[in-house]
Structure 1
């Protein structure tokens, strides 16, 4: 009996974490560059149920599998492209990215699924690379973001909305010379002068081969435990910079509300199960035990 009680309790904890993840997504519907989180739920442990003395010659007849609980293993970000929203501000930038990876077996681009993964026939997983603005925190650490709502300091430094320094392709701080605030960039990210000619390096746009290794730090900023598999944008990459636009959150509000309702109903169901077990235990202790 207690096994069922523990299963229901594990289900409640899991649905609470699922609920928290969805509410975080909904809270960031209007956050530029925000990437939706999805909760990965797995069962534990998986038990093979058998019947002793089954068919003749088969003393153990397999009935099936039984899962004795679930848990929220992790929250994974969904790095799909968000819609572009025009702002008209010259300091706002959006990355439009659809990087492809060639399948060496077929010589064609890998057909990534909606989550940005391709699983080969032998089970090998390949992730769609993603492009990010390269920034630097106050401690000199390299960070990555899709939030292109930049601002320009009186000294000409190009900063993120939270004050992080924007870097160029040489991993140097982007500093405007001349009149601060006169920032013009082409689709390749190169800063242009008044005549439309590139001056100096382009905005630092990093391509991360395994985006699911990114760790959230808050405010749309990510970090990597290891810089392996990170490179600067190269010619031929299907990435474009749009000035005067920002990338909106990729959270689907309708899907999020359905997910929120489903988590709530599953939580209530497990709660009812616990109440049932509580009444059963109370009867066993106070009535049956008295006999």
Structure 2
């Protein structure tokens, strides 16, 4: 009975985490470049059940009892949400009319799971990746993200615009005051290895290969669109349907948990009265 109690409880916890993931996707459905998280469920390791017994064999000196065991099968003991993996697919473009907004479009890529990113600098001065091209210019004239992180050029340096307007070419070259600056772009051959870090930033996972300079890899094609933003790839209608299904599954586990609780209560209160 306790095993069933724990199984139902684990189902409730897993569905609660899934609901939180889906709610976060809905909350970011209007965030430029946001990639929806996909929760992955996994069962706890199965338990192998065996029946232990003995078999009596007659002998000339009497009887001999030998131990026996019989395999009954496996038993699952619950489920948990293993991780939330971003779904890297191109979002729809939206024209904004703002010259500091840049959209990065994936062209032909050499790897099926490959993906491209802007290079930015986080608060600790480390290079990170983002798909959110909703840039602005800070008080010092540097091109930054809307969270204040410096946008980097191809040499890994912050881009200084001196507050001037600039023109972005399709190849990622910015024309600023008669000078040309190449946007820093990274390429990940397996985007599923990228981990969200907050503020729309990504970084390669612990065991993942490092990202590479997109301009140095043969077969990598892209396009930069100025005055445009890449939208979120969250599908609100599908996400709402998944949230309703997750809530129903949570309720089913809740009812099962309540039934186990009532059975345990009856056992504790009534078994002693039989004597």
Instruction: Please report the TM-score for the alignment, with normalisation by the length of structure 1.
Output: 0.81
Aligned to 1:202: 182
Q: Secondary structure at the match of 1:76?
A: strand
Aligned to 2:121: 136
Aligned to 1:119: none
2-structure distance, mates of 1:49, 1:98 = 53
Contact 1:170 1:204 in 2 (8 A): yes
Report how many residues are paired: 257
Match of 1:74 among 63, 83, 100: 83
User: Which structure carries more strand by proportion?
Assistant: 2
Change beyond 3 A, Cα 1:225–1:259: closer
Q: Secondary structure at the match of 1:31?
A: coil
Q: Secondary structure at the match of 1:289?
A: helix
Contact 2:50 2:72 in 1 (8 A): yes
Change beyond 3 A, Cα 1:286–1:154: closer
Aligned to 1:188: 171
Structure 1: gaps (5+ residues): 54-58, 103-111, 113-127
Higher-Rg member (1/2): 2
Q: Secondary structure at the match of 1:264?
A: helix
1-structure distance, mates of 2:104, 2:164 = 20
- State the Cα distance separating 1:66 from its structure 2 match: 2.8
Aligned to 1:233: 214
- State the Cα distance separating 1:217 from its structure 2 match: 2.1
Contact 1:51 1:62 in 2 (8 A): yes
Deviations 1:86-127 (A, max 9, x none): 10111101111145336xxxxxxxxx4xxxxxxxxxxxxxxx
Q: Secondary structure at the match of 2:269?
A: helix
2-structure distance, mates of 1:64, 1:238 = 53
Instruction: Please report the TM-score for the alignment, with normalisation by the length of structure 2.
Output: 0.85
Contact 1:209 1:229 in 2 (8 A): no
- State the Cα distance separating 1:40 from its structure 2 match: 1.0
- State the Cα distance separating 1:151 from its structure 2 match: 0.7
- State the Cα distance separating 1:218 from its structure 2 match: 1.5
Aligned to 2:95: 86
Change beyond 3 A, Cα 1:193–1:73: closer
Deviations 1:23-55 (A, max 9, x none): 0000001011111001111001223456789xx
Aligned to 1:16: 16
